[in-house]
Amino acid sequence: MIELKNVTRRFGDTVAVDGIDLAIETGEVCVLVGSSGCGKSTTLRMINRLLPHSSGEIRVDGKDITTLNPERLRLNMGYVIQGTGLFPHWTVARNIALVPRLLKWPQARVDARVRELMTLLDLDPDTYANKYPAQLSGGQAQRVGVARALAADPNILLMDEPFGALDAITRENLQLEMLRIQRQVRKTTVFVTHDIDEALKLATRIAVMDQGRIVQHDTPENILRHPASEFVENLVGKQDRGLKLMSLRPVRELMTAHARPRPATPGADALGEDDSLREALSVMLCRNLTQLPVCNGRGEETGVIARERIIRDGV
């Protein structure tokens, strides 16, 4: 659990973070969104004490962080930095092994962990373990950055635009990976982004920041349904809030389930149970269909979803 109470950070005369209160529950993904320069990175850096706060109080698991040893504090907080920050003179494997080695794990355990993480993040250990960061693509480097942060299994993850500067497809893949990893290993996560769709997709709760203040802190659904101000309303997109709400709900919630799974019709368009209502509607509109079969992870058809139903109950 991370608590910020009336935390302020000044740089000379500019107030980067202005008296914010924020509580992040254990196991929750809190996403900080806001336009450039609103104080997101500053907030993150104060949590791991890379920047001291000018006033206020920050507690991690009940302990005031200024009373803790900064290195000890950071070793338990995975940090993914805006722009990877990989060490150019170390191989991928050594970069990932950074924190385990600082914690003096035995070499065999370090090696096993590195392989495990590379596999988890879809980087073939045999191909990439001995490459240098300069030999990776942007997306691969960001994966290594995420793997490095996860390496010693910290309780807390701080991620500063970890998927920034990536093409839409790679970004989407990494987001899905992150959701999958989060389901496997629940970590208290503070995730910074300025992409509202990314925030809606990943967040348990979203904190919208504007000029150093938190203007709304709520679940994605509530942010969409009841934006607290004009600023939030513009941020989430006035016009397509309906579609964004649909993108929060999986097809499973509105489908008409079959009594028992049946084999899928080969070649037909089908949705997954976890696909969003927005995707379902989009496919139907595109193909001019009134309903679509829904399949589970094993490829069996478990139900159908109707266009009428989505339009009636989707939002």
Partner 1 sequence: MRNWLPVLLLIALLCGLCAAMPVLEPLFRGLQPDKARVIYQRESLFFLLGHHLMLVAVSAAVATLVAVAAGIFATRPSGRDFLPLVSQVASIGQTFPPVAVLALAVPVLGFGEAPILFALMLYGLLPILRNTLAGLEGLDPTVREAALGMGMSPWQVLCQVELPLAGRVILAGIRTSVTINIATAAIGSTIGARTLGDPVIAGLVNGNTAYVLQGAILIGLLALAADSLFEALERAWGAGVAIANK
Ligand X SMILES: Nc1ncnc2c1ncn2[C@@H]1O[C@H](COP(=O)(O)OP(=O)(O)OP(=O)(O)O)[C@@H](O)[C@H]1O
The residue among 193 and 302 lying less far from ligand X, judged by its C-beta, is: 193
Closest contact distance (angstroms) between CB of 226 and partner 1 is 36
CB of 35 to Mg ion, least distance (A): 11
Binding to Mg ion by residue 42, rule CB under 5 A?
no
Binding partner at 36 among ligand X, Mg ion, partner 1, none, C-beta below 5 to 8 Å by kind: ligand X
**Could you tell me if 145 and 86 are in contact, meaning their C-beta atoms sit under 8 angstroms apart?**
yes
Could you tell me the smallest distance in angstroms from the CB atom of residue 213 to partner 1? 25
First-to-last CA distance in the chain? Answer: 32
* Of the candidate residues 1, 3, 15, 90, the single one contacting partner 1 (CB under 8 A): 90
Question: At 44, is the secondary structure helix, strand, or coil?
Answer: helix
- In sequence order, which ranges of 185-262 are alpha helices (DSSP H)? 196-202, 220-225, 230-236, 241-248
User: Which positions lie near ligand X, rule CB under 6 A?
Assistant: 11, 14, 16, 36-42, 82, 194
131 in Cβ contact with 137 (< 8 Å): no
Q: How many residues bind Mg ion (CB under 5 A)?
A: 1
Q: Which residue, 82 or 155, is less far from ligand X as judged by CB?
A: 82
Residue 86, contacted partner among Mg ion, ligand X, partner 1, none, CB below 5-8 A by kind? partner 1
Calpha distance 154→159 (Å, rounded): 13
Between strands 188-192 and 156-160, the pairing is parallel
Which of ligand X, Mg ion, partner 1, none does residue 109 bind (CB under 5 to 8 Å by kind)? none
Question: Which listed option, partner 1, ligand X, Mg ion, none, makes contact with residue 37 (CB within 5 to 8 Å by class)?
Answer: ligand X
Report the residue count for the chain. Answer: 315
Which tokens in the block code for residue 229?
């101000």
For the chain, how many helices (H) and strands (E)?
14, 14
**Which long-range contacts does 121-128 make (Cβ < 8 Å, 24+ apart)?**
121/146, 121/147, 121/177, 122/177, 123/92, 123/147, 125/93, 128/92
Query: Which one of 9, 40, 74, 278 is in contact with partner 1 (CB under 8 A)?
Result: 74
The helix/strand/coil state of 10 is strand
Q: Minimum Å distance from CB 30 to ligand X? A: 15
Q: Which residues bind partner 1 (CB under 8 A)?
A: 45, 48, 50, 71-75, 77, 79, 81-91, 98-99, 102, 132-135, 148-149, 158
